[in-house]
């Protein structure tokens, strides 16, 4: 006799597949960024953003409110090579 649907399944159908696909795409993306695309201007800019914004993200995750408890400005076209 079949059991009622969902009784033993704690996760919705397709969630494991979505998680697996996400993990694979993430691993491929990080691998490509750290190898093939490492020397490109786009990745260099991305690395600089991560490096300079880390403190801002840490403070906001700790409860600080941007533009109230702390300030961090990002000029228009700051990362652009044309501006």
Could you give the CA distance from residue 35 to residue 26 in angstroms, rounded to a whole number? 14
What does pTM read for this prediction? 0.54
Place of tokens 């914004």: 53
What phi and psi values does residue 74 have, to the nearest 5 degrees? -125, 105
If one compares 15 and 4, the residue with the highest pLDDT of the two is 15
Residue 62 has pLDDT above 50, yes or no: yes
Cα torsion through 80, 59, 61, 68, rounded to 10: -90
Residue 70 has pLDDT above 70, yes or no: yes
Percent of the chain past pLDDT 90, that is, above it, reads 35
């Amino acid at each position: 006799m079949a059991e009622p649907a969902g009784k033993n399944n704690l996760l919705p159908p397709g969630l494991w597949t979505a998680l697996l696909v996400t993990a694979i795409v993430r691993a491929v993306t990080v691998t490509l960024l750290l190898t093939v695309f490492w020397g490109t201007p786009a990745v260099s800019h991305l690395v600089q953003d991560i490096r300079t914004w880390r403190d801002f993200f840490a403070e906001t995750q700790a409860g600080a409110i941007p533009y109230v408890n702390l300030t961090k400005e990002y000029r228009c076209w700051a990362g652009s090579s044309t501006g």
